[in-house]
Amino acid sequence: MAEIKFGTDGWRAKIADGFTFENLAKVTDAFALYMLKGNNKPVVAVGYDNRFMSERYALFAACRLSGYGFKVRLFDKAVHTPLVSWAVRNFKMDAGVMITSSHNPYTYNGFKIKNRHGAGLSGEETAKVEKLIGKHPKLKKGSLEKVNYDAHYIQAVKGLIDILAIKKSGMKIVLDCMYGSGAGYMEAALDGYKKLYVINNKRDPLFGGINPEPIKQNLGKLCETVKKLKADIGIAIDGDGDRMALVNEKGEFITSHKVLVFMLLHHIKNKKMKFNFVKTISGTFLVNKLAKEYSIKLTETPVGFKYIGEKMIEDETVIGGEESGGVGFGYFLPERDGIFGNLVILEFLAKEGKRIGKVLADLDKKYGEYRYDRVDVTFEEKKRKQIYAKAEALEKTGKIAGKKIKSVNRLDGIKYILGDNEWILFRFSGTEPLLRIYSEGPTDKAVQDNLKFGLKITK
């Protein structure tokens, strides 16, 4: 049987291999012991997604927790992960559990843990839970109540988004739910808007044969539908609704780097809010340029939304996001929310009175072009040190793809700065033998040249 190892937010494993009822019991018990330290009757929300048997796994965990004295609030249907986070925060619960494996393949399921703020647990806290595996709490009578907070969540969203402006814009929108548990929330928020067309919004535990991750290669149907319907925009959410993606009016995928730029501009120009911005080290330099121009405090973190979430807990004015499509708003929730994030984008375009293509053309004209791409390379574990040494040795050469290295950032991996709008980042995955090479540059050719050069260190 596979070893139980915790990663971001919690534990994930292959269904019927590592993710079994036996192992779920161990993880639930460890979580219970972690929560019972200093709290005799914790109040915990338990949610689940559309994956195979998620509802049964959730009921199993909920019943087990109630048997240890917990007050359990079990969602009465599949929900998107941000709703669990939102409910924990707004109903002042002690923690949340979400049975999901987010954007991972259909063969996986998982046990995500949310703290009392609704954010993911830090690495230090998940390590504490992991150390308790194999130990059992004492039996104690608790309670289990089935709940539905959909209406509360939608009401909160409507209080922060100008839904009327989106409707008045008349924009034609295509939404791809990727067969996930985020289906229904956008429709409810837009309150019967007739120019919203929804695809892949039924339950399919196989996710249509693709990973429910909103990245370019998985959004072919969305791109085709946007072109077929001559829509103004395509939007997507991942399998558990906490990540987002955009497609322009031509049916072309827009990188999440541009999404962050839109978020920044919208809160400056249209929402006129005072805020601080946080991005990961793999985020676009255009955000840096805009933050400097508008005197916005910008903080950079290692890759992983948990680092951004920590900043939001400290400061509710923080807005931030990551390269993988996770965007959050401290004034709403210190966690990613694909529904809320997409609505903010729709509000931005409605207020600007422009399509994405025009917004990007205006940005390119004013600030210069920023292009981006990434490659992931698997390697033999024994070569890890050798590959890292090669990446580090590039600093001594002074050049990458014929371009001078201006500075180096080692916040997470090794990032070589080649110019005001050009860089390359080498970063190892924390969970598997995978090297991620990221690059941004003024042209697609410059980016591909950088990546091609970077790939040499893996040979």
pLDDT tens, 374-396?
999 999 888 999 999 999 999 99
The domain of 426 spans: 371-458
DSSP run (H or E) holding 415: strand 414-419
How confident is the model at residue 122, as a pLDDT? 87
DSSP run (H or E) holding 319: strand 318-321
Residue entry with tokens 């400056």: 268
User: CA-CA distance, 16 to 273, in Å (whole number)?
Assistant: 48
How confident is the model at residue 433, as a pLDDT? 82
Query: Of 252, 282, 299, which residue constitutes the final position of a domain?
Result: 252
User: CA-CA distance, 87 to 74, in Å (whole number)?
Assistant: 11
71 plus 48 within the same structural domain: yes
Report if residue 352 sits inside a domain: no
CB 418, CB 444: distance < 8 Å: no
Report if residue 164 sits inside a domain: no
How confident is the model at residue 324, as a pLDDT? 84
CB 441, CB 421: distance < 8 Å: yes
| DSSP letters spanning 358-384 | HHHHHHHHHH---EEEEEEEE--GGGH
- Find how far residue 112's CA is from the centre of its chain: 13
pLDDT digits (tens, 9 = 90+) for 167-196: 999 999 999 999 999 999 999 999 989 999
Smallest CA-to-CA distance from 112 within 58, 183, 148 is with: 58
Report if residue 31 sits inside a domain: yes
246 plus 287 within the same structural domain: no
pLDDT digits (tens, 9 = 90+) for 3-25: 898 876 789 999 999 999 999 99
Give helix then strand counts, H and E, for the chain.
Answer: 15, 22
pTM reported for the whole predicted model? 0.95
User: CA-CA distance, 32 to 29, in Å (whole number)?
Assistant: 5
Q: How many residues are recorded in the chain? A: 459
CB 240, CB 49: distance < 8 Å: yes
How confident is the model at residue 75, as a pLDDT? 98
261 plus 143 within the same structural domain: no
User: CA-CA distance, 181 to 307, in Å (whole number)?
Assistant: 25
pLDDT digits (tens, 9 = 90+) for 68-90: 999 999 999 999 999 999 999 99
Report phi then psi at 236, rounded to 5.
Answer: -140, 155
Report if residue 5 sits inside a domain: no
- Find how far residue 253's CA is from the centre of its chain: 17
182 plus 261 within the same structural domain: no
Q: Residue 243 sits in a domain of what CATH number? A: 3.40.120.10
Count up the domains in the chain and report the number: 4
User: CA-CA distance, 253 to 216, in Å (whole number)?
Assistant: 6
Query: Of 252, 280, 309, which residue constitutes the final position of a domain?
Result: 252
User: CA-CA distance, 454 to 459, in Å (whole number)?
Assistant: 10
How confident is the model at residue 455, as a pLDDT? 96
Report if residue 353 sits inside a domain: no
184 plus 237 within the same structural domain: yes
CB 454, CB 415: distance < 8 Å: no
262 plus 213 within the same structural domain: no
User: CA-CA distance, 152 to 218, in Å (whole number)?
Assistant: 32
pLDDT digits (tens, 9 = 90+) for 291-316: 999 999 999 999 989 899 999 999 99
Report if residue 99 sits inside a domain: yes
| DSSP letters spanning 226-286 | HHHHT-SEEEEE-TTS--EEEE-TTS-EE-HHHHHHHHHHHHHHTS----EEEEETTS-HH
173 plus 260 within the same structural domain: no
Smallest CA-to-CA distance from 246 within 325, 364, 327 is with: 325
23 plus 144 within the same structural domain: yes
18 plus 127 within the same structural domain: yes
How confident is the model at residue 1, as a pLDDT? 52
Smallest CA-to-CA distance from 451 within 435, 442, 439, 441 is with: 439
CB 11, CB 20: distance < 8 Å: no
Beta bridge partners of 198: 175
39 plus 141 within the same structural domain: yes
Report if residue 445 sits inside a domain: yes
Report if residue 408 sits inside a domain: yes
67 plus 180 within the same structural domain: no
* Residues in the chain where the model's pLDDT stays below 50: none
User: CA-CA distance, 230 to 234, in Å (whole number)?
Assistant: 10
282 plus 307 within the same structural domain: yes
DSSP run (H or E) holding 444: helix 444-455
